[in-house]
Every structure is written in C-alpha cells, then in structure tokens.
C-alpha cells in the first residue's frame, strides 16, 4: 500500500515570488518617473517658447512670427553662410581625423594616447581665449606681413562672404567630440583584419579604406557630421567677437527689435536639429554591419531547422 500511495505534489513557494515582482515593478516606476521629469525639463521650455511666439498681447493667438521668418532681413544670408561653413567644417574634420585615426590604429597604436590628448585640448581652452588668440594672429598680417604674399592670405581667410578663419576655428572646436565618436566607431570594427583581407584580395590602400573600412563606419561618420553641424549652428562667441553674422549671431541680433521672431526661429532650428538627429540615427541603424548581423542570425536560426528536416 505504501508503494502504491502517490507522493504529494510539491507546493510552490510563493513567498519569494512576490518580492521579485515588486523589484521588477520598482525599476519600471523609477524609469517612468525619470522619463516624466526629463520630458518636463526638455519640453517645458519649448512649450512656453512656442506660447510666447503665438500669444501676442492685444491680438490673441497668431502665427505671424512664423509666417514672416522667410521675409526677415538677414535670414537667408545667415542660413547660407552657416550651411556653407558647416559643410566645410564637416569635410575638414573628417579629412583630418579619419586618416590620422586609421594610421594610429594600423601602424602606431602607442600614439593613440598622444592623439587623444591633442584632440581633447580644445575642451580646456575657453572660446573667448581661443578668439583672443585668433585675433592676435590675424593682427600679424598688417603688422608683419604687409609687404609679403602672406598678407593676401590673411585677407582671404577673413573674407566676409566665406570667413575661412571661422571654419578653422570650428574644426578645432569640434575635434574633441569628433574624436570620441570616430574612435568609438573604429573600436567597433576590426580594422586590421578588414584591411589585411582587402589587401590580400588585391585592393590598393585607398580602395581598402574607401570601400571596406569606411562603409563599416557609416554610423560613426554620420554622428560626427551631426555633432559638427550642431556645433556650427549654435556657435555664437567666436563669430560674434570676430565680427561675422552667421545664423546664431543673426538670431541674437534681431532679438532686440523682433523678439518673437527670434524665438520662433530658435524653436524651428531646434526642431529641425532633433529631426536631423532622428534621421541620422535611423540611417546609421540600417548600416552594413547591422544587415550583416541580421543575416548571420537568420542563418544560425536556419541551421537547427535544416538539421531537423534532414
């Protein structure tokens, strides 16, 4: 009889399940609270900025401050100058840092610390001090090089139509952020193996870099371009002290006479910057490395199914 008696089923211990469930709910609660506070912190000022631009005392709600942006004096010249300088700055940053980081990665890894320190130096130099140094160097033109061909060079880089001196300053100011972004992209890619494989297949050094390495760094390159563009769009100190009027300086200059238009332009530029960030994130997420990893996962998932069929 004892052998035929079934053993009682074990009773699950639910005393430990409840605290575990509470622990799972607490992180969700904290995440929601932090997300709410962050949303209020970022969206609150924008909401009141938009309210300031559409609520005109004595006239009620109107969108005149937005409809009149394109016709405001100085808008198109400021936008054109800023976009041209942004394109030149992005090209300068990529042409300067990408070959340098690839050379350090492939041939001289011990110099990585030196390159990192040099690229991080602009972080400890205030924009006002940088502008003072640039102004001092520019003053050398009429003082010391008036009778030499370099005098024309000093005049050319200060051309108000396209101030190359601002581009050089922006390249210097964007180096810390660009270096961090590109270095992270290079760390995610096995550059020596890719280059060695391309070279073994008969590719030249330029072709190996352009067609093998750079496509695998598309996300890092796009992020670098976006950070540089954001810096050029929002930079005010250097351009204002040197006497130029790009987009950021123009926004401040019309604030005294057309405050609502100035705030409206700031809101639109912020929204466009966020939209560009989301677009670049979406493009970078669909890069070759992501597609390769998805294909690899599909192949790995198909192997057990094929084994079962066989």
Per-residue model confidence as pLDDT tens digits over 260-280:
888 889 888 888 888 877 777
CA separation for the pair 308, 108 (Å, rounded) = 50
Residue 56 falls inside a structural domain:
no
Helix (H), strand (E), coil (C) string for the chain: CCCCCCCCCCCCCCCCHHHHHHHHHHHHHHHHHHHHHHHHHHHHHHHHHHHHHHEECCCEECCHHHHCCCCCCCHHHHHHHHHHHHHHHHHHHHHHHHHHHHHHHHCCHHHHHHHHHHHHHHHHCCHHHHHHHHHHHHCHHHHHCCCCCHHHHHHHCCCCCCCHHHHHHHHHHHHHHHHHHHHHHHHCCCHHHHHHHHHHCCCCHHHHHHHHHHHHHHHHHHHHHHHHHHHHHHCCHHHHHHCCCCHHHHHHHCCCCCHHHHHHHHHHHHHHHHHHHHHHHHHHHCCHHHHHHHHHHHHHHHHHHHHHHC
Distance from C-alpha of 193 to C-alpha of 245, rounded to nearest angstrom: 47
Each residue's pLDDT tens digit, 66-92: 888 888 888 899 999 999 999 999 999
Range of the domain at 220: 82-285
Q: How many domains is the chain built from?
A: 1
Residue 2 lies in a domain: no
Residue 213 lies in a domain: yes
Residue 236 maps to a domain: yes
Locate 39 and state its tokens: 């949303």
Give which of 106, 18, 54 is closest to 268, Cα–Cα: 54
> How many C-beta atoms surround the C-beta of residue 43 within 10 A?
10
pLDDT in single tens digits along all 310 residues of the chain: 444 455 555 555 555 555 555 555 667 788 888 888 988 888 888 888 888 888 877 777 888 888 888 888 888 999 999 999 999 999 999 999 999 999 999 888 889 999 999 999 999 988 899 999 999 888 887 777 777 778 888 888 899 899 999 999 999 999 999 999 999 999 988 888 988 888 888 888 888 888 889 999 888 998 899 889 989 998 999 999 999 999 999 999 888 888 888 888 988 888 888 887 777 777 666 554 444 444 445 444 434 433 444 4
Is 104 part of any domain? Answer: yes
- The residues near 20 (Cβ < 8 Å, ≥ 6 apart) are none
Q: Are 106 and 195 in contact (CB under 8 A)?
A: yes
Residue 129 domain flag = yes
Burial class from Cβ neighbours inside 10 Å (0-12, 13-18, 19+) for residue 77 reads: middle
Question: pTM to 2 decimals?
Answer: 0.77
- CATH code for position 248: 1.10.3720.10
């Amino acid at each position: 009889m004892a052998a035929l008696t079934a053993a009682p089923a074990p009773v699950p211990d639910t005393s430990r399940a409840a605290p575990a469930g509470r622990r799972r709910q607490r992180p969700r609660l904290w995440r929601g609270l932090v997300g709410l506070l962050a949303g209020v912190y970022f969206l609150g000022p924008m909401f009141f900025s938009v309210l300031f631009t559409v609520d005109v005392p004595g006239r009620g709600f109107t969108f005149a401050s937005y409809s009149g942006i394109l016709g405001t004096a100085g808008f198109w010249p400021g936008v054109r100058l800023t976009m041209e300088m942004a394109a030149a700055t992005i090209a300068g940053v990529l042409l300067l840092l990408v070959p340098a980081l690839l050379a350090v990665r492939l041939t001289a890894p011990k110099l990585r610390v030196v390159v990192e320190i040099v690229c991080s130096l602009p972080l400890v130099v205030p924009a006002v001090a940088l502008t003072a140094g640039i102004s001092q160097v520019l003053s050398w033109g009429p003082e010391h090089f008036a009778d030499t061909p370099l005098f024309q060079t000093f005049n050319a880089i200060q051309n108000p139509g396209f101030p190359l001196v601002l581009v050089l300053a922006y390249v210097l100011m964007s180096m810390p952020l660009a270096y961090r972004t590109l270095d992270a992209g290079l760390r995610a890619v096995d550059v020596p193996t890719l280059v060695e494989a391309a070279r073994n297949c008969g590719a030249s050094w330029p072709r190996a870099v352009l067609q093998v390495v750079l496509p695998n760094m598309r996300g890092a390159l796009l992020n670098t371009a976006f950070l540089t563009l954001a810096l050029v769009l929002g930079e005010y100190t250097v351009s204002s002290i040197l006497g130029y009027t790009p987009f950021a300086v123009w926004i401040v200059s019309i604030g005294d006479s057309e405050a609502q238009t100035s705030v409206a332009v700031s809101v639109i530029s912020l929204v466009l910057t966020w939209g560009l960030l989301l677009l670049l994130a979406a493009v970078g997420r669909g890069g070759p490395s992501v597609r390769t990893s998805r294909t690899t996962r599909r192949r790995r998932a198909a192997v057990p199914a094929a084994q079962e069929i066989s």
